[in-house]
């Protein structure tokens, strides 16, 4: 969110090794971990789509389009669907009266499968730059990057995704850090995530703050040399639809992003945006959001979500920037005034805003992930907050403090253990120091045949040695658990390991060689209700 003195507002968003569970059944609960896990088509009509509604359905729905189609009138058009975060867009003929839309909302919310209906609102990057480029910087020095860089400049295995405008990924300062996949464009169908015009500068500036190549004798110094993914969800004007941004966040998570930067915002809370952030969080992504540039109390969404690190902006003297929003949703502060970074085409400029502060934190998160690759998302966020510097501001202005790259990289996040714990505070045991945990929630009914949900689990630790599967079901039902070790779909008669005692809790522990690809079945014999399946993998 760059700041130019205006009162702009906006809002309404190969496979990740941390995307753990993949559903094999049509009624799967977590969707696919592949890049096509949502049945969406990136792009389509460019920019905001104010006449569309978003209809969100329950995770138990196996056919999102069919469920919304059955609830919609004949003259309503079902557009894109997202089977990972469970929504579909609905539009009406241009000559349809307003009452038709009102009646649709009233009717569709009566269906048990429908959880919400909301407008396909517009989210914006706030403002445009108005300062010339000066051959100097203060942000890296201010947050101790020189100290951090003695340990790591950033590993190219660590991916920072920027959901924003397009990024000039062949810019001299970005050509060495851009991910080989470049990214995805959700505004222009079939196009690479590249700026469309000279006016589209925000994405490049934000991306180059987080991951502009350092120590290459070119341009400015970005915070990290981590890999950069450009996920274009905002158009040339800096505006984008809620559905594009939600799909972009989901895509970034499935593409393997360790960090997702969200320098965009809205004053309103939307279920579709919240669901997209939750989806990314559950897949191990650290989300970083800009607090807003209105100089007001109240943090904009998505930064205000608990799943997202909300970032305020301070100046080079660590005073809160006049334009920066404040509030209980602030988790960290970062430099955000007159930051030097890249802009199209092969240029550099100064920009100010919480949009600039957020990628400073994203870049530092990338450095920490590079130094401590086994930190969980939760542990990474806690470490950034615990190593932040108290600069004397109120908590609603600085949160836990101003981010400090030097302290974050050089401070041991495992002070009570000789080996890393995977970030969960527990010893990782003799298997090694890498631990990955994932869970899925579902609901099944038993009976003469009973219902089943099936999942697949590819191994993600560097040298897998064991996995424990735990099932917790309702106390008045018999839920059973089965697993195969070669990826085939298990049944009650065809499995390698099973736990089918009479009861609500089941557990299976399996030793691994690293060649396995697990298939999992949850089956209800009697009773009905919700269950939680947890998979905990350990490796070297």
Active site residues: 164, 202, 355
How does DSSP classify residue 107? H
Backbone angles phi, psi at 121, to 5 degrees: -70, 170
Residue 47 to residues 117, 165, 186, 249: CA-CA distances in angstroms?
20, 11, 9, 16
Query: Distance between CA atoms of 283 and 256, rounded to whole angstroms?
Result: 9
Residue 125 DSSP symbol: -
Phi/psi at 15 (nearest 5 deg)?
A: -85, 140
DSSP string, 425-455: SS---TT-SEEEEEEEEEEEE-SSS--EEEE
CA angle 30, 37, 258 (to 5 degrees): 80
Q: Which two tokens stand for residue 190?
A: 């079939």
Residue whose tokens read 């802009």: 343
For 98-177, where are the E strands, in sequence order? 114-119, 122-124, 159-164
Nearest Cα to 381, choosing from 320, 310, 302, 280?
Answer: 310
Give the torsion sign (CA, 408, 275, 22, 536).
Answer: positive
| Beta strand residue intervals within 97-210, DSSP E | 114-119, 122-124, 159-164, 178-185
Pair 325, 292: CB distance under 8 Å: yes
Quick one: how far is CA 228 from the chain centroid?
A: 14
From 185, 200, 202, select the one nearest 126 (Cα to Cα): 202
Helix (H) or strand (E) holding 139: helix 139-142
* Cβ atoms 216, 174 nearer than 8 A: no
């Amino acid at each position: 969110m760059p700041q130019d003195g205006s009162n702009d507002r906006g809002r309404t968003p190969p496979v990740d090794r941390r995307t753990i569970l993949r559903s094999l059944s049509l009624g799967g609960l977590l969707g696919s971990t592949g890049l096509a896990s949502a049945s969406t088509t990136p792009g389509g009509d460019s920019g905001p789509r104010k006449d569309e509604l978003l209809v969100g359905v329950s995770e138990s729905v196996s056919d999102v389009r069919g469920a919304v189609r059955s609830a919609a009138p004949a003259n309503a058009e079902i557009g894109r669907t997202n089977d990972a975060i469970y929504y579909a867009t609905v539009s009406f003929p241009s000559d349809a009266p307003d009452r038709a839309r009102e009646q649709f909302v009233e009717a569709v919310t009566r269906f048990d499968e429908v959880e919400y209906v909301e407008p396909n609102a517009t989210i914006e990057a706030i403002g445009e730059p108005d300062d010339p480029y000066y051959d100097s910087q203060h942000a890296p020095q201010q947050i101790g990057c020189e100290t951090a860089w003695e340990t790591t400049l950033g590993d190219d295995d660590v991916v920072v995704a920027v959901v924003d405008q397009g990024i000039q990924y062949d810019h001299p300062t970005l050509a060495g850090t851009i991910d080989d996949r470049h990214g995805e464009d959700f505004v222009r169908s079939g196009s690479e995530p590249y700026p469309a015009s000279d006016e589209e500068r925000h994405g490049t500036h934000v991306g180059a703050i987080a991951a502009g190549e350092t120590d290459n004798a070119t341009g400015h110094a970005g915070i990290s040399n981590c890999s950069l993914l450009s996920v274009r969800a905002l158009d040339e004007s800096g505006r984008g639809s809620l559905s594009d941004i939600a799909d972009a966040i989901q895509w970034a998570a499935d593409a393997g992003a360790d960090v997702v930067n969200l320098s965009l915002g809205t004053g309103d809370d939307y279920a579709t945006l919240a669901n997209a952030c939750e989806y990314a969080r559950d897949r191990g992504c650290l989300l970083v959001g800009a607090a807003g540039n209105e100089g007001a109390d109240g943090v904009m969404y998505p930064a205000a979500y608990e799943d997202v690190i909300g970032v305020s902006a301070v100046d080079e003297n660590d005073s809160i920037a006049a334009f920066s929003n404040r509030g209980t949703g602030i988790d960290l502060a970062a430099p955000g005034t007159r930051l030097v970074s890249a802009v199209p085409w092969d240029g550099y400029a100064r920009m100010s805003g919480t949009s600039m502060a957020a990628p400073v934190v994203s870049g530092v998160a990338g450095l920490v992930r590079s130094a401590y690759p086994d930190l969980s998302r939760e542990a990474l966020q806690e470490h950034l907050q615990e190593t932040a510097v108290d600069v004397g501001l109120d908590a609603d202005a600085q949160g836990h403090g101003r981010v400090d790259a030097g302290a974050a990289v050089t401070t041991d996040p495992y002070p009570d253990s000789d080996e890393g714990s995977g970030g969960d505070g527990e010893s990782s045991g003799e298997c090694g120091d890498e631990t990955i945990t994932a869970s899925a929630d579902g609901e099944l009914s038993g009976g003469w045949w009973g219902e089943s949900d099936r999942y697949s689990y590819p191994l993600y630790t560097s040298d897998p040695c064991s996995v424990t599967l735990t099932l917790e079901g309702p106390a008045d039902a018999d839920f059973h658990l089965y697993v195969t070790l070669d990826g085939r779909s298990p049944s009650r008669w065809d499995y390698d390991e099973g736990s089918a005692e009479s009861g609500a809790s089941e557990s299976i522990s399996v030793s691994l060689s690293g060649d396995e690809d697990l298939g999992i079945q949850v089956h209800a014999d009697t009773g009905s209700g919700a269950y939680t399946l947890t998979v905990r993998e350990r490796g070297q």
